[in-house]
Amino acid sequence: MDKHFTITINDDNGVKQYNLHKFVKKIIKYVILFFAFITLLAVGTILYLNSSVETIEKKRTETQNAYDSLKKKNIELDISITNTQNALKVKKKELTEVSDSLAEIEVLIGLSPVPEMSLQERVDITKLNSQHLVTLMQYIPSGSPIVYKGITSKFGYREHPTLKRKEFHRGTDMRASMNTPVHATADSVVEWAGYHKKSGFGNLVILQHNYGFRTYFGHLNKIVVKSGMFVKKGDLIAYTGTSGMSSGPHLHYEIRFIQRAVNAFWFIKWDVKNYQDIFKKEKKIPWQSLITATARIRIQKQTQTQLLSQLVQKSKVK
C-alpha cells in the first residue's frame, strides 16, 4: 500500500509537487486540532474570566455600597449615641437639681429621707407633706393681715397707751396708716363684725377658724364683711383706723386658741420657709396632736399665701 500523498502547488514559476508521508499528515492534522482546541479553550477561558470579573465587580460594588451604607449608619449611630449621652448628662444635671431642690423642700417640711429611698419615693412623701403643709396654712392663721411695716406694741405686759397702767397685751399692734386694707389670714366664718363697746377695740372683726382658732382685728375704720359670712384666706375684710381706745391709726391683731391668747407675731411670720419655727416658739398649742388630726385632710384648691410682696402690690393698686 502506498503510504505517501502528493501536495501540488501551482505558482508563477510553474507546478511543484511534494510527496508527504501519511504519518506527517496525521501530525499536521493533530497539530491543527490541538491549536484549534487551544484556541477554543482560550476563548472559553476568556469568556469565563470576563463573566467572573463582571460578577466579582458586581459583588465588589454591592459590597462597597453595603460598606458605605454601614459606614453611614455607624456615623448616624455615633451621632445618636453622642446626642443620647448629652441628653443623659442634661437629665442627670436636672435630676441632681431636682434632688437638691427636693432636699431643700424636705428640710422646710421637716423630712429626713432614708438614704436607700428612691427619688420617686421621696417625691411622693414630699408631695403628701407639702399638701399637708398647704392645708395647715389654709385653715390656720398664717402670714400678715396687712402690708407689714413693723410692730408698735408687742404681745405681753406693757403700759396701756391710753389708760397709762400696766396690763397684759393679748395682741400685736401692727404699724399702719389710715384705711390700709386688712385681709383674712385663714379660711373662716365671721363671728363678729361691728362696733364693740366693752373691749375698747372700737370697730372689731372676729373670725372663727377651724381647730379652735380665732383672730381679732381691732381699731378698724371700715368693715366690709358681715357676721355669718364665710371668707377665704386673703379676702378683704376691713380697713385700718383708730376707733375705740386708740392713740393713733394701727391694727390690733390678736390670735386665740380655745380662748387663750397666743403670740400673733409668730403666726404673722409663719410661712413655708420657716414652717417648723412656730412649733418651737409657740408651745401653748398641741401641734403634734393637730398635725396628726389633719394628716389626711387635703384642700381642693389652695389660696395663695398672702406674701408681704403681694400685699404691697395690692396696696399700690388701691
Kindly indicate the confidence band of residue 230, based on its pLDDT and cuts at 50, 70 and 90: very high
Residues 222 and 242: beta-carbon distance below 8 Å: no
pLDDT at 312 over 50: no
> Which residue is listed with cell 444635671?
93
Whether the CA torsion 218, 220, 225, 228 is positive or negative: it is positive
Cell numbers describing residue 140: 390656720
Percentage of residues in the chain having pLDDT higher than 70? 76
Give the model's pLDDT for residue 115.
63
Residues 206 and 231: beta-carbon distance below 8 Å: no
In 3D space, the residue among 73, 74, 52, 71 whose CA is nearest the CA of residue 63 turns out to be 71
Type of residue numbered 88:
L
Q: What is the average per-residue pLDDT within 193-198?
A: 92
Residues 216 and 204: beta-carbon distance below 8 Å: yes
Give the model's pLDDT for residue 7.
64
Type of residue numbered 245:
M
- pTM higher than 0.75: no
Residues 182 and 148: beta-carbon distance below 8 Å: no
More confident residue, 26 or 214: 214
Kindly indicate the confidence band of residue 307, based on its pLDDT and cuts at 50, 70 and 90: very low
Cα–Cα distance between 175 and 215 in angstroms, integer?
17
pLDDT at 27 over 60: yes
Angle at 166 (CA atoms; ends 160, 171), nearest 5 degrees: 55
Q: What is the average per-residue pLDDT within 88-103?
A: 78
Per residue in 114-142, pLDDT tens? 566 676 666 655 554 667 777 888 899 99
Dump the DSSP string for the chain.
---EEEEEEEETTEEEEEEEEHHHHHHHHHHHHHHHHHHHHHHHHHHHHHHHHHHHHHHHHHHHHHHHHHHHHHHHHHHHHHHHHHHHHHHHHHHHHHHHHHHHHHHHTT----TT--HHHHHHHHHHHHHHHHHHHHHS--S-SS----EEE-SEEEE-TTT-SEEEE-SEEEE--TT-EEE-SSSEEEEEEEEETTTS-EEEEEEE-GGGEEEEEEEEEEE---TT-EE-TT-EEEEEB--SS-SSSEEEEEEEETTEEE-HHHHHT-SGGGTTHHHHH-TTS-HHHHHHHTTT---SSPPPP--HHHHHHHHHH-
Q: What is the mean pLDDT of the chain?
A: 81
Kindly indicate the confidence band of residue 145, based on its pLDDT and cuts at 50, 70 and 90: very high
Per residue in 31-82, pLDDT tens? 888 888 889 888 888 888 888 888 888 888 888 898 888 889 999 999 999 8
